[in-house]
A and B are shown apart, each in its own frame.
Chain A
Amino acid sequence: MLRYLYADELHLFPKLRDTMFRDRARQFRDRLHWDVAVDTNGNERDAYDAMNPLYVIWQQADGGHGGSMRFLPTTGDTMVNDHFAHLTDGVPIQSPLIWECTRFCLGTDAEPRVSAALMLGGLEVGLGFHLTDAVGVFDARMVRVYRRLGWEPTVLGISGRDRSAVSVGLWAFDPTVRPALLNKAKVPDRLSHLWFDRAFGQAAPAPLAMVG
């Protein structure tokens, strides 16, 4: 299932939290050889995890991490603007309608549908909060995966080569890609809405009705 959790809510799901940061170490340090910091417990965390980001996480049936990504608003501090300006033509990307998405990570034994489910979660965030775009930092080789899922980014720049290649790209939040993502993620439409509402609150009648 998809979980939408701010960093200050992760303590409610200790197994999910711990397996997520460990899977991130495995993916970004061990497999991709990115220059990331891993603590003595094997958790990959950076300064942006300390800014109370919003995580979109695929939780497996055993409660562990299947995949995740991390959102931050571009009106505050972001990784793209702090560290990747050379990949965005030197333009600090800032807008209340654009959020940054980083650390797209898949668990080691994730089912094939997990990447589609995560992209679906990202889309629900964008559509649910009326955003126009996401700007993302990603493993350059992921472009093929995004293409297969039917939601490709506009690539702004690439640095490095092979396994250490990193890209910055833009995803437009477009409702027309939603049916294909639901289909590939094998998630029914209403279930996806349910997961979203469970995280961000259901639209109950106005508080007055509850007070009266």
Chain B
Amino acid sequence: MQGRLDTFIEGMQGAETLDDLQGHIIGLRDVFDVEHLVYHSVNASGGQYAALTYPLTWVDRYLEQDYARVDPVVQGCYRRFHPVDWKRLDWSGKQVRDFMGEAQDAGVGQQGFSVPIRGPNGQFALFTVSDRRTDTAWNKYTERHVRDMILAAHFVNQKALEIERGTDETQQRNLSPREVDALTMLAMGYSRAQAAESLSISEHTLRVYIESARFKLNASNTTHAVARALTLGLLIV
């Protein structure tokens, strides 16, 4: 899946509107090979945005009933920041069980994995995949793909924030001189060991600087980060 996900994420870079993003969410669901995928963001001033694959009838019902009040996923993730398998949430209590029964009738899977996201200035978002696999198959699935889910969650979030902000790309893509140095050396074909030595830092430090740059560039891996930095004119080689 890694290769397909990287390719998909690079393709998603072109999304310019929230409508585009909604289209990509369906594709992302297919890449993840799950029944449903949900991204939901709440900014500090209470503005909300969602891109999801649930049937609209379920979304309407959820909003109309204000199910966020009882939904263990929302209750367990809001204001928190650790990723969680739905199995670890508290599904006891009649109200919650009724809610879950209704959700499953509406096509929501009984398995789920949610990644809460804490962004800048108090922004909160939640990224969820849900499915109908058996317990054994689901355990195997999450074990293999948990990092992919975390990275995809943050990729979608940064893309959504970027769209919301408008065209002010350079502001966010401002890499520090040290990050530019590190990426420049990789672009010039230096190995990590050589780059670390030239910059007089450990390979551990270099790895973290490159990872920070990758995140800021919203790239799926180091190779793409270097390519994006070159495209944006941030590197001179």
CB distance from B159 to the nearest CB of A (A): 14
Q: Which residues of the other chain, B, contact A207 by a CB distance below 8 angstroms?
A: 86-87, 91, 100, 110
Please measure, in the bound complex, the distance between the C-alpha atom of A210 and the C-alpha atom of B90, giving whole angstroms. Answer: 11
A135 close to chain B: CB less than 8 A: yes
Of residues 15 to 56 in A, which have CB atoms within 8 Å of B's CB atoms?
52, 54
In the complex formed, the residue of B with least CB distance to A212 is B101
Is B110 a contact of A208 with CB atoms below 8 Å?
yes
Instruction: Judge if A64 is at the interface, Cβ distance under 8 Å.
Output: no
Tell me, yes or no, whether A158 is within 8 Å of chain B by CB: no
Residue of B nearest to A154 (CB): B204
Contacts of A73 in B (CB 8 A): 81, 118
Q: For A14, what are the chain B residues with a Cβ–Cβ distance below 8 Å?
A: none
Q: Does chain A have a CB within 8 A of B69? A: no
Give, as a whole number of angstroms, the nearest-CB distance from B212 to chain A.
5
Are the CB atoms of B212 and A94 closer together than 8 Å? yes
Task: Decide yes or no: A97 and B212 within 8 Å by CB, A204-B87, A211-B101 being known contacts.
Answer: no
Q: Are A205 and B84 in contact (CB under 8 A)?
A: no
Interfacial chain B residues near A97, Cβ < 8 Å? 147, 150-151, 211
B61 CB within 8 Å of chain A: no
Encode B143-183 as 1/0 by CB contact (under 8 A) with A. 00011001101100000000000000000000011110000
A176 at the interface (CB under 8 A from B): no
Find residues 58-116 in chain A having any chain B CB closer than 8 Å to their own CB: 72-73, 75-77, 89-98
Q: Shortest distance in angstroms between B114's beta carbon and chain A's nearest beta carbon?
A: 12
User: Do A204 and B146 form a contact, CB below 8 Å, given A96-B153, A211-B100?
Assistant: no
Closest-by-CB residue of A relative to B178 is A89
Q: Does chain A have a CB within 8 A of B216? A: yes
| Count of A-B contacts judged by CB separation below 8 Å | 127
B135 A205 Cβ-Cβ under 8 A = yes
Q: Is the CB of B204 within 8 A of A8?
A: no
**A77:B178 contact, CB within 8 angstroms:** no
A90–B92 Cα gap in the complex (Å)? 48
The digit string for A145-158, where 1 denotes a CB below 8 A from any CB of B, is 00000000010100
A98 to chain B, nearest CB (A): 7
B111 within 8 A of A: yes
A94, B211: Cα distance in complex, Å: 8
Interface residues on A, range: 35 or more
Q: A135-B208, A170-B208, A210-B91 are in contact. Are A91 and B82 (CB under 8 A)?
A: no
Does A130 sit within 8 A of B, measured CB to CB? yes
Q: Name the contact of A200 in the complex, choosing from B84, B86, B97 (C-beta under 8 A).
A: B84
**Contacts A91-B212, A130-B150 given: A156-B205 contact, CB under 8 Å?**
yes
Q: Which of B73-129 contact A (CB under 8 A)?
A: 76, 79-92, 97, 100-101, 104, 110-111, 117-123
Cα–Cα, bound, A200→B114 (Å) = 13
Q: How far, in angstroms, from A110 to B182 measured CA to CA in the complex?
A: 43
CB-CB under 8 A from A202, the residues of chain B are 88
Whether the Cβ atoms of A52 and B79 lie closer than 8 Å is: yes
Q: Residue B68 at the A interface, CB < 8 A?
A: no
Chain A residues lying within 8 Å of B212, measured Cβ to Cβ, are 91-95, 98
Q: In the complex, what residues of B have CB within 8 A of residue A95's CB?
A: 208, 211-212, 214-215
C-alpha gap A94/B204 in the complex (Å):
15
Given that A93-B212, A97-B211, A130-B146 are contacting pairs, would A75 and B154 also be in contact in the complex, using a CB cutoff of 8 Å?
yes
Q: What CA separation (Å) do A96 and B215 show in the bound complex?
A: 8
Q: What are the residues of chain B within 8 A of A200 when measuring CB–CB?
A: 82, 84, 88
How many Å from the CB of B131 to the closest CB on chain A?
A: 10
Interface residues of B (CB under 8 A from A): 76, 79-92, 97, 100-101, 104, 110-111, 117-123, 135, 138, 146-147, 150-151, 153-154, 176-179, 201-202, 204-205, 208-209, 211-212, 214-216
Give 8 nearest A-B pairs by CB, closest first: A201-B88, A208-B110, A76-B118, A89-B178, A96-B154, A154-B204, A207-B91, A90-B176
11 contacts between A and B (CB under 8 A): A54-B82, A75-B120, A76-B118, A90-B177, A96-B151, A132-B211, A206-B87, A206-B138, A207-B91, A210-B91, A211-B104
